[in-house]
Amino acid sequence: MTAVPRTQIHDDVTWVDLENPTQAVLEQLAKTYSLHPLHVKECLQKVQHAQVEHEDQYLFLVLHVPVLTARKDKIHISQVGVFLGKNFIITIRGGASPCITDLFEVCNLSAEKAEEYFTQGAAYLLYRLINSLLSDISDMTDDVNNELDEIEDMVFDDRDSDSQRIGKVRQKIVRLSRVIGPKRFILQDLAEQIDSFTGQNMAKYYLNNTKMANKLWEEIDEAKETVEIYKDADFTSSTEQTNKILAILTLVFTFTIPITVAGTLYGMNVFLPGGLEAGSWMFLGRYTTFAIIIAVSGAIAVGMYMYFKRKKWF
């Protein structure tokens, strides 16, 4: 993505959008719009806390934007610095932010949308930008809830482990929670400051965004509890299946112990009753010794089975 600023001007309101700008571009931008160098620097610093700061000429915000990967199996977080002036809005991004890019393109390509968003002032344009961001988060939350519905049937089916898919959904929920949690307070602060800064009646719009953020937080929090239940259920189910397999293998091994012991004894180079050196038993025919060994081993195995059953070990 080029570092050259993209600019739109409608009805004396300017929107400047930059992605991965160079230091020279940032310095020129700060000079043009009288931006504090520290705020400009914070725009591209990673892991900045979401915040709202009130300066004489502008409001400065740091927002975090969730971005789905191309395969839509993971969510990454992109940081955006926003400067809101009386008649300008500047967005500085360190990475892709589809909601901002899409809104910019909509205003650029549609004169009707540009008229709707820009004529009511920079503060209204910022409201629409934040509303677009929240709508994206809402869509991602809906997708997560749909995935949880699909996982529910799989988890309680008891056929296969779903730990990998549950893990991916948990990652999405954690990322969405990290984005929307702090944003609730940021939007509340912004709603309280916006009228005094702009001199317009914009608080009602921004309170609408705050309500939407609080609703999304409740949905994400509920999804977090649900996925933890599914994780525990999947773990319990997998453990039970493993225990069943181990129990079967243990029984098979245990029931073969008597014949294994007998075979080991008669494979030794010592005299044993019914052995080759001592003379095989023949009173029941040619295979008397073999029949007696099988019968004794079977009797011991049956005895162990009955004992295990009585003890309720399986």
154's tokens: 């799989």
* Of 231, 75, 217, the residue nearest 152 (C-alpha): 231
pLDDT of residue 142: 93
Can you tell me the distance from the alpha carbon of 99 to that of 105, in angstroms, rounded to the nearest whole number? 10
In the chain, the amino acid numbered 262 is: A
Place of tokens 């984005």: 179
Q: pLDDT tens track of the chain, all 314 residues?
A: 446 788 999 989 999 999 888 888 888 889 999 998 888 888 877 766 777 888 889 999 988 888 888 777 888 888 899 999 999 999 998 877 888 889 999 998 888 988 889 999 999 999 999 999 999 999 999 999 998 888 877 776 655 557 788 888 989 999 999 899 888 988 999 999 999 898 889 999 999 999 999 999 999 999 999 988 888 877 777 777 777 777 777 777 777 777 777 777 666 554 556 666 666 677 777 777 777 777 887 887 788 778 777 877 66
Which pLDDT score is estimated for 88? Answer: 94
Beta-bridge partners for 53: 60
pTM of the shown model: 0.74
Q: Would you state the structure tokens that stand for residue 15, as one six-digit string? A: 């929107």
Helix (H) or strand (E) holding 67: strand 58-68
CB 231 within 8 A of CB 154: no
Between CA 235 and CA 203 the distance in angstroms is 48
- Domains, the chain: 6-240 (3.30.460.20), 256-311 (no CATH)
CA 9/CA 174 separation, integer angstroms: 38
